[in-house]
Structure formats: C-alpha cells, structure tokens
Amino acid sequence: MPITPGAIQPTTDGHNFYLIVLSADAASLFYATYFGGASSWEHVDGGTSRFDKKGIIYQSVCAGCGGNDDFPVTPGSWPNTGGNVNHSTNCNNGTFKFDFQVPPVNADFAIDTAAGCAPFSVTFNNQSSPFGTYLWDFGGGDTTSMIYNPTHVYNTPGTYLVTLILNNNACKIADTAFTYITVYPGITADFGIASAPCSNSITITDSSATAPVSWQWDFGDTGTSTLQNPVHTYPSAGNYVITLITTTVNGCADTTLMNFDNSGGVTVGPGGTICPDGSISLSASGGFAYSWSPAGSLSNPNVSNPTASPIVTTTYTVNVSTVNSLGDTCVVALTTTVIVLDPTTFSLTASADNDSIFAGSSTIIHAITDTTLTILWSPAGSLSNPNSFNPTASPTSTTTYTVTIIDSSGCPRIATITIYVLSMQCDPADVFVPNTFTPNADGQNDILYVRGNMISELYFAVYDRWGELVFETKDQSKGWDGIYKGTKADPAVFAWYLNAKCYNGDELKKQGNTTLIR
C-alpha cells in the first residue's frame, strides 16, 4: 500500500491497520500510514469507529493477540497495572485516537460599518482560515462573487443578508459566516435662487429630495445659515459660490454648489502689490460711468482705469453704473485692494571724496548703508566696479550716479551723488566778465565778477570812460559793487582789463566793457 512522507509507521508485518486521508472525490492521496504491532494480527470484530469533521479517528480494535504486548500505545496507557499490560492470552480490546490534523475550516469576515446611505459601497475584509474557495452572496438575489476581499455597492435602500461560504478543497469541508447590511435612502441636495433687479438680496428655496432634516448654507461671503429657506443680503455685487449640505434623519448627506452673480457683467481688476512710493493701474469694466473711492490717492476717480498711488495698503471701491437686461439703471459696487509692502528698515545715502574734479581726474564715491545686500551703481561705464560699495568714478563730463539696493520685498532703495567735471581750458570762452550788471541791492547781479573755474591767479581792473581806474583786485572772489570813492557810480559804460593765469599754466589777457544799469 502507498505510504506518504511523515507516516507514523511506514512499514507493516502484513497484519496492521492502514489509515489514509483522500482529497475531494478521492482524486489523490493526502496522507497514508500503517498502524499496529510488529507481531500480533490486529483486526476489527465489529468494533466501534467514529470520525469527526476535524479529521480525527476514534477506533476500538482487537490488539495484543496471542499474548503479545506490541500494540503502539502512549506511556501510562490504561490499564498498565503491575507492569502487565496484556491481560489476555487471546486478544485484548484496544482503543485509540488518531488525529490527522486536518486544518479546521473557519469562515469569517469584517466590514467597517454595517449601515450606510445609498449608494453604499462596502468592502468586505475576509478573515477566514485556511485558504480555500470563497463564495459571497451579497443578499441582492443575483449578486455573488468569488473574490477574496470584494467590494459591493448597494444602490437600493433595504436590509441585506450577506453570506460567505468557505470550502476547504482538501476535504470538502465548508463553513459559513454572515451579517446584515442596512442601506438607507440617499439624498440629493438642490435649491433655487431668486433676486430682485439691482439688489444684493436673495431668497433661497430648498428643493432637496428625500426629506432632509438639517441644512447648512454657506453664502460664499463668510455668511452662513441653518434655515431651510434663508434670505441673505450680500455686502456688494460680485460672483459668489453658494454651498448647501443637507442631511436626513439617518445621517445621509449630500452637497451641492451654485454660482450667484449679481455683478451684471461688471468686473473689477484684481489690484496688486506695490513698493513704497510706487503706483499701479486699476481697472473696471461693464458700465457707462465709474466712481472710485477713496479718491485722494487716485489720478482720476471718475475713469474706468485710474492710477493708484497709496502710501499704505488700501481697498478701493468702484461704483459702476450699468443697465440690466430689463432696462433698469443699476449701480454695482465692487472692491479691489492694493497692498503696499512695508519698507525694509535700512539706510542708504551716497557721497564722494570730491564732488568736483578736473577732466581726466577720478574720485571715489561711497554707498553708505547698514546692509550687506547687493548694490548696483549706474551709469556703470565710468566706474571701476558698479557692484562695489566704494567704486572709483572717472566721468568725462558732469555725471549723476545712482546707487540702488533691492530689499527683501523686491523694492528698490536709491540714492544719488553728482560729480562735477571742471574744464581744464583757459580760453576766452572759459574766463569772462558779464556785459552788464545792476548794483541795485536786489541780490541779483549786483556785483561785477570775473567768471571762470580754472583761474589760479588774477588781476582785474575797471575804468570809466575817461580812463580813470575805479576798481581793481587780485582776488577772484571780490568784484566791483558800483561804488567809486564812496559814491554810487552813475549808469554808464565802463571798460575792464584782466590778466588771468589758469591751473594748467596757461595765461590769458582779455579786455572789454560792461554797462552799469541802475
């Protein structure tokens, strides 16, 4: 007879019992072993046999025959008294229990919740053991599955008996588990909106299906309500999203959204963010007249697109006059906000070692600040390094330099310094005397000076028409005030002569005349 691996007794003397386990429909041999003594002819004379569904045999047999004591028993088996197990010289009654250890079959499953609202989706968590084949009946009459962990959607309200049948493929042993699923009627949220022309007030009518018992309204402007049919007034015209959440007595809920636009096609731009001292263009459309407020920081409050230059964050309101579909003239109020960034708290000034230089010379300019942010000087062409805090400037003509720092908000901070470039020429055009002066004590052209930036030495003399000397000086900062010998000179034409020496060593002699006017 065939024996399987793990047999308790793999050999026989020809007179033992043969115990086997067959697969379903006796298709194959799962387990086989011999059982009995090595000498006795064990047999059954109408003995009692019992088999339970767990794969255990309870058997009464004739054993230990012919005075043998060879039947396999566990130590201490009854009636082991006085060291004599065999109490008969013929055969003894031997009873034994043989457990094939066929795994027990236990069908079981779990669900998150046993009640819900249609459509109710339930995932079944199979907790059965051991593995086998599974047949699910979801209680709908025609809804079954053989998936290990199926998901089923109940669309119709009612109570459903869910059954799981587990089959052990080895021994055709089955077990069943079941539970009840309750499906409540679902709900569909819905509502309608009514509003009067040129009005920000609305009346809402609930039209939800399946008798809700609670309502949660969100009007899209921070306003809320729990009434079934609320009335709401918006602070201004606009496009609002109204949200309704309805709930039934069984806790079934649904949400729906609806847009409400009472702007009449009027729109306003989104505003924006500006730096301190900055400006931005606002915009509105859809009307025939516009009125913006507050007006103080606007270029024109009565146009559709004014320029706003607020010094602090400001919300602007625009009243737009428009005509609705019924021919009514409506005024729609919309708002937009301009955010003014906070200025970064650091200082910035500009200075120079010398702000006046001769052509071909250089000077160092300085960005004086308490920050280490990146700086930029412009124009950069005549600078040693436009990103230096202290670059060397070599302008060929008088130039204003601007230093810029972009702060952490992205806003520029600027400072300027002007470097004056003095001409090195000592030509008649660069050294001159005005052709008139008016010593009338009005503070304008009262004194006759020699003009020129390059003069290092000077002699200047003024003569009347008879050739008499009325004034002379060697100091360029001093000039004739029209007084001669303590008396105001009469209006007349006066001749002058100058001899100038310039810083570049050139010498210039020049003469001319000036008219004194009082």
Q: Is 340 exposed, middle or buried (0-12, 13-18, 19+ CB in 10 A)?
A: buried
With CA atoms as reference, report the closest residue to 375 among 405, 348, 340, 330: 405
Higher pLDDT, 512 or 75: 512
CB within 8 Å of 225: residues ≥ 6 apart = 215, 217, 219, 232
Within 155-264, strands assigned E span: 158-168, 173-184, 191-195, 201-206, 214-218, 224-225, 231-233, 239-247, 253-261
Tokens matching residue 216:
């949660």
Beta partners for 54? none
How far apart CA 406 and CA 232 sit, in angstroms, is 47
Least confident of 98-107, 381-390, 503-512: 98-107
How far apart CA 431 and CA 441 sit, in angstroms, is 25
436-516, what's its fold? Immunoglobulin-like (2.60.40)
CATH of segment(s) 191-261: 2.60.40.10
With CA atoms as reference, report the closest residue to 289 among 306, 267, 304, 299: 304
Q: Is the bond into 294 cis (omega within 30 degrees of 0)?
A: yes
Map residue 395 onto helix, strand or coil. Answer: coil
Least confident of 22-26, 34-38, 58-62, 164-168: 22-26
**pLDDT for the residue numbered 77:** 74
**pLDDT for the residue numbered 12:** 93
The per-residue pLDDT for range 239-250, each reduced to its tens digit, is 899 999 999 999
169 confidence band (pLDDT: 50, 70, 90): low
Q: Running DSSP on this structure, what letter comes out for residue 11?
A: -
- 491 has pLDDT over 60: yes
205 confidence band (pLDDT: 50, 70, 90): very high
Tokens matching residue 23:
């697969």
Within 370-502, strands assigned E span: 375-378, 392-393, 399-406, 412-422, 436-437, 455-463, 469-473, 483-484, 487-488, 492-502
- 331 has pLDDT over 60: yes
Mean pLDDT of 451-466: 92
Let me know how long the chain is. Answer: 518
Tokens matching residue 62:
């004739």
Task: Provide the residue type at 443 as one letter.
Answer: G
**pLDDT for the residue numbered 341:** 86
How far apart CA 470 and CA 243 sit, in angstroms, is 98
In the chain, where the domains are located: 17-99, 109-184, 191-261, 268-340, 348-422, 436-516
109-184, what's its fold? Immunoglobulin-like (2.60.40)
268-340, what's its fold? Immunoglobulin-like (2.60.40)
**pLDDT for the residue numbered 149:** 94
**pLDDT for the residue numbered 350:** 95
- 171 has pLDDT over 80: no
For the beta carbon of residue 146, count every other beta carbon within 10 angstroms: 9
Rounded (5°) CA angle 343-345-351:
105
- 47 has pLDDT over 60: no
**pLDDT for the residue numbered 89:** 75
Tokens 């109204």 -> residue: 242
Could you confirm whether domain 348-422 is CATH 2.60.40.10?
yes
- 390 has pLDDT over 90: yes
- 304 has pLDDT over 70: yes
CB within 8 Å of 86: residues ≥ 6 apart = 64, 67, 68, 69, 92
The per-residue pLDDT for range 334-343, each reduced to its tens digit, is 899 999 988 7
| Domain 191-261 identical in fold to domain 436-516 | yes
How far apart CA 308 and CA 317 sit, in angstroms, is 12
How far apart CA 260 and CA 89 sit, in angstroms, is 106
Higher pLDDT, 359 or 366: 366
* Phi, psi (deg, nearest 5) at residue 283: -150, 145
382 confidence band (pLDDT: 50, 70, 90): very high
Q: Report the DSSP pairing between strands 507-516 and 436-437.
A: parallel
Least confident of 52-56, 225-229, 300-304: 52-56
* Phi, psi (deg, nearest 5) at residue 66: 65, 30
172 confidence band (pLDDT: 50, 70, 90): low
**pLDDT for the residue numbered 81:** 56
Q: Is the bond into 185 cis (omega within 30 degrees of 0)?
A: no
Share of the chain above pLDDT 90, in %: 59
How far apart CA 323 and CA 303 sit, in angstroms, is 18
Identify whether the C-beta of residue 301 lies closer than 8 Å to the C-beta of residue 372: no
48 confidence band (pLDDT: 50, 70, 90): low
Tokens matching residue 1:
């007879």
The distance between the two most distant Cα atoms of the chain, rounded to a whole number of Å, is 184
How far apart CA 327 and CA 331 sit, in angstroms, is 13
Mean pLDDT of 419-438: 86
Q: Report the DSSP pairing between strands 348-352 and 120-123.
A: unpaired
**pLDDT for the residue numbered 150:** 95
Share of the chain above pLDDT 70, in %: 94
Mean pLDDT of 129-157: 88
Q: How far is CA 290 from CA 279, 307, 321, in A?
A: 20, 14, 7
Tokens matching residue 262:
């009472």
Q: Report the DSSP pairing between strands 487-488 and 56-63.
A: unpaired
- Average pLDDT score over the chain: 89
